[in-house]
């Protein structure tokens, strides 16, 4: 028998899959849902996270930012806590990119632990799949910024922070 918490996480995964159904990953062209699954898997396997709300928010972390889904819809389907976590890791797309990147660092310095966990796992996934068509300079810039975001989350989860460091080092070596 599947627990209520696991069922909720699976419902969130199905919701995210439908919302992101036509999206592909920039880095490798995979269906976007694979990234969301990886973020949740990293939280569970590497970070030791078992909280169904955190895992649900992990698979929904880009749904407000990248799809027509609203925060209110997330709350109706998954509750106020999941909505709050998703909003805590959502960039305001109305702002210029440089400002969004700066704010992501600033927000993570003060975010609650569960939001920081999601952000750590997200950046672990992202640094491992940089778009091949990005220049070496753009990849280096992204990796430097990702390292700053993770530094803003320092002390949240040693295993996820180490996973990011390992993936970051590998990504830096792979830049030609």
DSSP per-residue string spanning 29-71: --BTHHHHHHHHHHHHHTT----HHHHHHHHTTTHHHHSS--H
Task: Report, as residue numbers or ranges, the catalytic residues.
Answer: 65-66
Contact partners, residue 176, CB within 8 Å, separation at least 6: 136
């Amino acid at each position: 028998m599947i627990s209520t918490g696991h069922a909720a996480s699976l419902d969130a995964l199905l919701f995210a899959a439908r919302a992101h159904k036509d999206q592909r990953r920039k880095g490798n062209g995979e269906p976007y849902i694979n990234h969301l699954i990886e973020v949740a898997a990293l939280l569970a396997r590497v970070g030791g996270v078992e909280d169904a709300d955190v895992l649900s928010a992990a698979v929904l972390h880009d749904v407000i930012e990248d799809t027509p889904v609203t925060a209110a819809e997330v709350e109706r389907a998954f509750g106020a806590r999941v909505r709050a976590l998703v909003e805590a890791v959502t960039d305001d797309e109305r702002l210029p990119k440089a400002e969004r990147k700066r704010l992501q660092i600033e927000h993570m310095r003060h975010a609650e632990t569960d939001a920081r966990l999601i952000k750590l796992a997200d950046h672990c996934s992202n640094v491992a799949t940089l778009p091949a068509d990005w220049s070496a300079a753009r990849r280096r810039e992204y990796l430097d910024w990702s390292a700053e975001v993770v530094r803003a989350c320092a002390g949240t989860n040693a295993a996820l922070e180490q996973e990011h460091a390992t993936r970051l080092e590998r990504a830096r070596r792979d830049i030609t």
